[in-house]
Amino acid sequence: ERGICIGTARTNPGKGIEKRDDLADPAKTTRLRNVYNALVDLEIDALISIGGDDTLKTANFLYAYQQTLPDDARRVRVVHLPKTIDNDYRGIDFTFGFFTAVDFMAKELLNLRADSRATSSWFIVETMGRKAGWLPYGVAIAGEANLVLAVEDLDDKLLTQDVQTDPDSGEERRVPCLNVEALTERIVDLVLTRETRDRKHYGTVVLAEGLAETLPDRYISGVNRDEHGHLSLGKVNLADLIASRVTELYAKRTGRKKKMRGIQLGYEGRCAQPHAFDVMLGSQLGIGAFRALCEEKLDGHMVSVHGQLGLTYVPFSELVNPETMVTEVRFIETGSDFHKLARFLETRTEATPAWGPGPRNEERS
């Protein structure tokens, strides 16, 4: 059966804990203590957490909290399984769910590409990928997008300064943010390059939803945040915002109308029929959790794989910042072979950058 049969929640038992010393503060560990006491009352010996970086952070909170208890206190061992379509984990190459989401959304993107070709239009497609660009890059590569941009691509050309007021102190501060005008210019340049050089009047652009968190404050003020402090990105609708801006600038530069449509690809990819690789990976990680607890007698570890699905176990201490207690996010390294792959396949509109893939002829078919 698809989905998460045991259910899921966005509650944050570790809310308010920002450093290790906070674990000794009874006022800040009330929720953690309630979770621990409930597990003990239910006579549960071990907890296998399954989820993304916030779930890992909470699992580590519970593990670290128990280190502050008396030596004779009952222990609930904690083992974590990395499950996220974002694939932004350290300690494992690919998380289960990633290839399923990429496969599903890439097929959707190919459908949109076919529609854009038939109607001489463009789609600005926003995909999940709050902190790192693995998912939008995977979707763009497999779905033949003409451009993909994620938070890793925010360089001086796509950044500007925004003046924001601190809600507590009232002080103004300048923070780097997405230059909406520069992004709009880049996409219009792409559209015009396709039209004038390649005689193609259609295409698709993939944007990571995480770019919305870097928008100037005027675009996101008033948007709700969840228990973990995350912006409700679906309500920002970056795809529609950029599509409307591109439509306006294209008309201004050419005197012509162009249909630009914003599309959000999100929840429909999270519970798709699992990809065969994810079935094998998820099965091995699940068995690995059992073996970590029953054979290896581990506590405070994440189950991982290497090579041909060989099991390995990574201590929480290698995945979580010991000072801030926040999980370490794995970003796409700009200039890496994976990053270059997208640059090879997209439509080039400017001179080759220093890390670029080198000269090539644009496709003419």
pLDDT tens digits, 122-170: 999 999 888 899 999 999 999 999 999 999 999 989 888 877 776 667 7
Cβ proximity of 79 and 46 under 8 Å: yes
Do strands 301-306 and 260-265 pair parallel, antiparallel, or not at all (unpaired)?
Answer: unpaired
Residue 289: predicted pLDDT? 97
Indicate the range of 11-15, 21-25, 52-56 predicted with least confidence. 11-15
Residue 296: predicted pLDDT? 96
Where do the CATH 3.40.50.460 domains begin and end in the chain? 102-272
> Distance (Å, rounded) from C-alpha 251 to C-alpha 264?
24
Residue 75: how many other CB atoms lie within 10 Å: 15
The pTM (predicted TM-score) of the whole model is 0.88
What mean pLDDT comes out for the span 227-253?
A: 82
> Distance (Å, rounded) from C-alpha 173 to C-alpha 162?
8
Tell me which fold the domain 102-272 belongs to.
Rossmann fold (3.40.50)
Residue 365: predicted pLDDT? 42
Of the candidates 200, 212, 197, the one whose C-alpha atom is nearest the C-alpha of residue 119 is 200
Q: Is the model more confident about 27 or about 290?
A: 290
Average pLDDT value over all residues in the chain: 88
Percent of the chain with pLDDT over 90: 60
What mean pLDDT comes out for the span 48-53?
A: 90
Q: Is the pLDDT of residue 220 over 80?
A: no
Residue 185: band (very low, low, confident or very high) from pLDDT cuts 50, 70, 90: very high
Indicate the range of 112-126, 211-225, 250-264 predicted with least confidence. 211-225
Residue 358: predicted pLDDT? 62
Q: List the CATH code of the domain at 20-94+274-318.
A: 3.40.50.450
What does the H/E/C string look like for the chain? CCCCCCCCCCCCCCCCCCCHHHHHCCCCCHHHHHHHHHHHHCCCCEEEEEECHHHHHHHHHHHHHHCCCCCCCCCCEEEEEEECCCCCECCCCCCECHHHHHHHHHHHHHHHHHHHHHHCCEEEEEECCCCCCHHHHHHHHHCCCCEEECHHHCCCCCEEEEEEECCCCCCEEEEEEECHHHHHHHHHHHHHHHHHCCCCCCEEEEEEHHHHHHCCHHHHCCCCECCCCCECHHHHCHHHHHHHHHHHHHHHHHCCCCCEEEEEECHHHCCCCCCHHHHHHHHHHHHHHHHHHHCCCCCCEEEEEECCCEEEEEEHHHCECCCCCCECECCCCCCCHHHHHHHHHCCCCCCCCCCCCCCCCCCCC
Q: Is the pLDDT of residue 299 over 60?
A: yes
Percent of the chain with pLDDT over 70: 90
Q: Is the pLDDT of residue 251 over 90?
A: yes
Q: Is the pLDDT of residue 114 over 60?
A: yes
What mean pLDDT comes out for the span 174-180?
A: 86
Q: Is the pLDDT of residue 36 over 80?
A: yes
Where do the CATH 3.40.50.450 domains begin and end in the chain? 20-94+274-318
